[in-house]
């Protein structure tokens, strides 16, 4: 395990979730998305000790376990580290069972929690809520950017070196080509966030789940591919709902038409995204619903 420089004092550590590291001149560090708990944070801590690096701050771009799970282990070794997140993310980070409730639409069950929380993640407390705008730490300015859509509490952080860490707003092209039914809580906000990134002045972006550091031009191209993925599923939903059907029948058709593989967790992730797509289309007045034969059916509005 090693630090890989992006530009200036901005680095990242490769992993299932790439972790951002900003190194201050005094060898203190700001971490971004430390990842899952377990072996990886242990290795990170060993590397920090060998390099005489002291984590002082952690920014979580959003609340999902694969981004925040390691916070408690790092806090245990470095008790003065300040853990930061948006207000919405803080709620779910400190009470992760609420995410399971949200995904299921009711009380969580063991089938989902076994898939979501397969490691013994210790309780995490967020020390400070951060909002959009300037964030100054250790005499250095960072910019916090609201990037809602993947979750309501999703943020990005732009370092003074012009390097953007945008959480799960974007995934690597190699992953997108295989898994293009994105997990979205709010489609409208997600599309707005893609446009926000297009308008930002940055040099590089480090994807949380991607193998390459992208420059501004490559990022713009990747954003367009994410938009295409969203519009692909919007069109499929509109087409399928020319025949009224309920959510689970529609989901079955979406899974089959796109040959999506899934387990218990992923089924509910797909279902959550589908409901978000339906809500977006309802807000656009493109679909309606009816109650029929003890069922709730959505259908495309013909204009």
**DSSP structure string for 229-253:** HHHHHHHHHHHHTTS-B-HHHHHHH
Which pLDDT belongs to residue 113?
A: 80
Q: Quickly count helices (H) and strands (E) in the chain.
A: 11, 15
Whether domain 4-226 has CATH 3.50.50.60: the reply is no
Which pLDDT belongs to residue 108?
A: 87
Task: Grade residue 1 by pLDDT with cuts at 50, 70 and 90.
Answer: confident
Task: Grade residue 114 by pLDDT with cuts at 50, 70 and 90.
Answer: confident
pLDDT tens-digit profile of 145-159? 999 999 999 999 999
Intrachain domains 4-226 and 231-300 with the same fold: no
| pLDDT higher than threshold 80 for residue 176 | yes
| pLDDT higher than threshold 60 for residue 120 | no
Structure-model confidence comparison of residues 127 and 177, the more confident one = 127
pLDDT tens-digit profile of 123-136? 899 999 999 999 99
Sequence-ordered list of residues with C-beta below 8 angstroms from that of 266, at least 6 positions apart, any chain: 260
Compute φ and ψ for 296, nearest 5 degrees.
-115, 115
pLDDT tens-digit profile of 44-95? 999 999 999 999 999 999 998 889 989 999 999 999 999 999 999 999 999 9
pLDDT tens-digit profile of 195-207? 999 999 999 999 9
pLDDT tens-digit profile of 57-70? 999 999 988 899 89
Element (H, E) at 100: helix 97-104
Closest CA to 62 of 115, 23, 99: 99
**Within 10 A of 268 (CB to CB), how many other CB atoms are there?**
20
Return the exposure string of 247-259: e unless at least 16 CB atoms fall within 10 Å of the residue's CB, then b.
Answer: eeebbebbbeeee
How far is the C-alpha of 242 from the C-alpha of 298, rounded, in Å?
9
| pLDDT higher than threshold 70 for residue 117 | no
Question: What share of the chain in percent tops pLDDT 70?
Answer: 98
CATH topology of domain 231-300: Arc Repressor Mutant, subunit A (1.10.10)
How far is the C-alpha of 34 from the C-alpha of 210, rounded, in Å?
15
pLDDT tens-digit profile of 221-268? 999 999 999 999 999 999 999 999 999 999 999 999 999 999 999 999
Query: What tokens were used for 198?
Result: 């297009």
Q: Quick one: average pLDDT of 175-192?
A: 95
Q: Domains of the chain: which residue ranges?
A: 4-226, 231-300
On average, the pLDDT of the chain sits at: 94
Query: What tokens were used for 216?
Result: 């501004």
């Amino acid at each position: 395990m090693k630090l890989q420089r992006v530009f200036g004092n901005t680095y990242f550590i490769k992993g299932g979730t790439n972790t951002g590291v900003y190194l201050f001149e005094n060898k203190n560090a700001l971490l971004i998305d430390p990842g899952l708990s377990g072996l990886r944070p242990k290795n990170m801590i060993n590397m920090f000790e060998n390099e005489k690096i002291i984590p002082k701050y952690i920014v979580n771009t959003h609340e999902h376990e694969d981004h925040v799970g390691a916070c408690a282990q790092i806090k245990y070794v470095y008790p003065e580290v300040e853990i930061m997140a948006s207000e919405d993310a803080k709620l779910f980070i400190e009470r992760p069972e609420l995410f399971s409730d949200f995904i299921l639409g009711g009380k969580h069950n063991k089938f989902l929690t076994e898939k979501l929380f397969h490691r013994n993640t210790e309780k995490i407390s967020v020390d400070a809520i951060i909002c959009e705008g300037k964030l100054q730490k250790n005499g250095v300015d960072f910019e916090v950017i609201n990037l809602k859509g993947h979750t309501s509490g999703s943020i990005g952080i732009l370092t003074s070196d012009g390097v953007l860490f945008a959480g799960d707003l974007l995934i690597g092209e190699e992953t997108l080509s295989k898994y293009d039914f994105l997990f979205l809580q709010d489609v409208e906000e997600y599309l707005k966030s893609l446009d926000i990134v297009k308008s930002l002045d940055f040099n590089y972006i480090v994807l949380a789940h991607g193998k390459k550091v992208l420059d501004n031009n490559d990022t713009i191209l990747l954003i367009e591919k994410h938009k295409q993925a969203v519009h692909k599923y919007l069109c499929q939903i509109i087409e399928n709902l020319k025949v009224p059907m309920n959510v689970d029948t529609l989901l079955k058709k979406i899974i089959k038409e796109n040959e999506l593989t899934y387990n218990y967790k992923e089924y509910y992730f797909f279902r959550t995204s589908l409901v978000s797509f339906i809500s977006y289309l309802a807000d656009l007045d493109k679909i309606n619903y009816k109650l029929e034969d003890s069922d709730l059916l959505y259908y495309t509005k013909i204009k």
